[in-house]
Amino acid sequence: MHAYDIVVVGGGIVGLTQALALKGSGLSVAVVEGHVSESMPSGDPQLRVSALTLATENILRNLGVWQHLDVSRICSYVDMQVWDQDSFAKIEFSAQQVEKQQLGHIVENQAIRHSLWIQAQNSSFIELLAPKKIKQLVFGQQECFITLDDSSQLSARLVIGADGANSMVKKLANLAQTFWDYDQHAIVATVKTTLPHKHIARQVFTPTGPLAFLPLWDPHYCSIVWSQDEPRAAELLKLSNQDFNKALTAAFDCTLGICELVSDRQSYPLKMRYTRQWVGNRVAIIGDAAHTIHPLAGQGANLGILDAAALAEQIIKLVKQDKDFGLAKNLRPFERWRKTEAVKMVAAMEGFKRLFAGDQPVKKLIRDTGLSLANHSSFTKQKIIQHAMGLEGELPELAKVHLE
């Protein structure tokens, strides 16, 4: 039986952030993960990327993680353009409007995770247990007992589930969730465009779902996230590469010229999951284990990283106060804090999805008028930009300033 203060289940981006954010707490931390980190990506761009906000960048810098990233594979985006297909409505945002150098960065998920993994390996208070998976949780009054798939056993004063949407921790702890299906699939791929992206993130709303073009380090390469109603997504996945290129170019209004696939196409179903209880005695969940949202705003990874920083802040506060950080009542402030932010994001994504779905004339007029009015309101645009950069709402200390 190996005893730890905290066991984090899930060694992805959110779980590793959680472990590293506990630095200075004096606590021993183990991370249980089913897959050892892959090496830093090289060659062609990886399919899965994240649009990291300024708040997330601050957290990764303060944890000593950003410094491990290959800057040549990071693409800063300085502007954002959003429009409704076949209409006059358009809204544009610029980093200059808030006197920043960029609005955020597009970074490959594998690069983020590997940088976190390297930093965790170099941290004396963290032990990486991989490749291993949890098999059983037994909750006691003072600690939780964990059995792994190799029959080894651990104990912890607190177990943190950062093991994704199908969280085993959530299941074993009987934490109920609200769920609904968006009835859409997201198609992800890397494409080459005739015209350079000029470090602009773009998104067009089509009647069957949004299409995002995220700029990559090569000026002619973009990562696409094409969220489409299930019948249309199935049609697109069956197309030949040539026919898919034509459909993509047309859907994107030929904004960057001809689009050409330079990778495989992958798709995944889109579902909203919201766990009603994020903490219990000896257990807490964060990231996709607590909430999954529609990718149209690209905020999933950022929300999870902020969860991790906020939970670490609450735990460190409890340690300083000599209070039991494994009790649900002592973790409630974290739950209320991050639930508020998650609910706002879930509601906003659902509202956007409903408003921009379909091409009914009245609904189209309402949304197009709204976009145009917002585009001409400097105050509204400032608020939207602040939100897009992750600078709205109550932020953890790690997200506020560079400590380096």
pLDDT interval class at 75 (50, 70, 90):
very high
The pLDDT value given to residue 84? 81
Residue 233 counted as domain residue = no
Of the candidate ranges 87-96, 108-117, 139-148, 311-320, the one whose mean pLDDT is the lowest: 87-96
158 DSSP assignment: E
Residue 203 counted as domain residue = no
Hunting for tokens 């980190």 — which residue is that?
Answer: 37
When mean pLDDT is compared over 177-186, 277-286, 383-392, the highest value belongs to 277-286
Read off the pLDDT of each residue in 229-237 and give the average, rounded to a whole number: 94
Q: For 344-374, how does the pLDDT look when each residue is reduced to its tens digit (9 = 90+)?
A: 766 665 555 555 565 666 555 666 666 666 6
What is the extent of the structural domain holding 12?
2-179+271-399
Q: What are the Cα distances from residue 187, in Å, to 12, 137, 268? A: 22, 36, 7
Residue 351 counted as domain residue = yes
Residue 243 counted as domain residue = no
What's the pTM value of the predicted model, to 2 decimals? 0.91
Residue 92 has pLDDT above 90, yes or no: no
- In 3D space, the residue among 369, 80, 85, 73 whose CA is nearest the CA of residue 221 turns out to be 73
The pLDDT value given to residue 153? 97
Residue 379 has pLDDT above 80, yes or no: no
Q: Return the sign of the alpha-carbon dihedral for residues 381, 53, 84, 184.
A: negative
Q: Which distant-in-sequence residues (6+ apart) come within 8 Å of 188 by Cβ?
A: 47, 48, 223, 224, 225, 226, 265, 266, 267, 268
Got the DSSP string for 69-102? S-GGG-EEE-EEEEEETTSS-EEEEEGGGGT-S-
Tell me if residue 364 falls in helix, strand or coil: helix
Residue 282 counted as domain residue = yes
Geometric angle at alpha carbon 16, from 289 and 339, rounded to 5°: 35
- For residue 154, the cross-strand partners are 2, 146
Q: Which distant-in-sequence residues (6+ apart) come within 8 Å of 149 by Cβ?
A: 132, 133, 134, 135
Q: What is the mean pLDDT of the chain?
A: 89
Peptide bond into 131 cis (omega under 30): yes
CA distance between the termini of the chain? 38
Task: Please give the backbone phi and psi of residue 272, each rounded to the nearest 5 degrees, phi first.
Answer: -95, 125
Q: For 40-59, how does the pLDDT look when each residue is reduced to its tens digit (9 = 90+)?
A: 998 999 999 999 999 999 99
Q: For 130-189, how does the pLDDT look when each residue is reduced to its tens digit (9 = 90+)?
A: 999 999 999 999 999 999 999 999 999 999 999 999 999 999 999 988 887 888 899 999
Residue 285 has pLDDT above 90, yes or no: yes
Residue 187 counted as domain residue = no
| Count: domains in the chain | 1
Residue 404 counted as domain residue = no
Take residue 191 and report the two structure tokens written for it.
Answer: 């494409």
Q: Which distant-in-sequence residues (6+ apart) come within 8 Å of 172 by Cβ?
A: 134, 136, 137
Q: Which distant-in-sequence residues (6+ apart) come within 8 Å of 101 by Cβ?
A: 76, 78, 95
CATH number of the domain bearing residue 37: 3.50.50.60
Percent of the chain with pLDDT over 90: 70
Residue 242 counted as domain residue = no
The pLDDT value given to residue 104? 92
